[in-house]
Amino acid sequence: MKTTLKIATLAVALTPFSAFAQDAGPSDAQLQTFRAAMTQVGCTIADDATASAVQVATGYSEALLEDIVQQLRVYNEIVDASSEGGITLISGECAV
């Protein structure tokens, strides 16, 4: 039992701190960059062209963009653009 405890303690000591850090989500700067890119495309992503324009403008991966959209949904800044899909930013310069 002591050996198991020592091994567990050593494993924890050798594990990088980042392994224990919880994903804090997108940073405020990343959210702001996304908001600016959405504003540049007219506040709505309704097709592949506008989605690509936002991705190019931000330089973010698809996974990060998904995280940002989910975070902005929590903040009530993103709504569905239509029943066919897409999203619309409804905050900042895009507020109606």
**47 by DSSP, 3-state: which?**
coil
Give the start-to-end residue ranges of the domains of the chain: 23-94
Short-list 92, 86, 91, 62, CA closest to 76: 91
At the top level of CATH, the class of 23-94 is: mainly alpha
Q: 13-57 pLDDT, tens per residue?
A: 444 444 444 568 999 999 999 999 999 999 999 999 999 999 999
Q: Is the pLDDT of residue 6 over 60?
A: no
- Left (φ > 0), alpha (ψ -120 to 50) or beta: where does 44 sit? beta
Q: Rounded distance, CA 38 to CA 59, Å?
A: 13
pTM of the full structure: 0.74
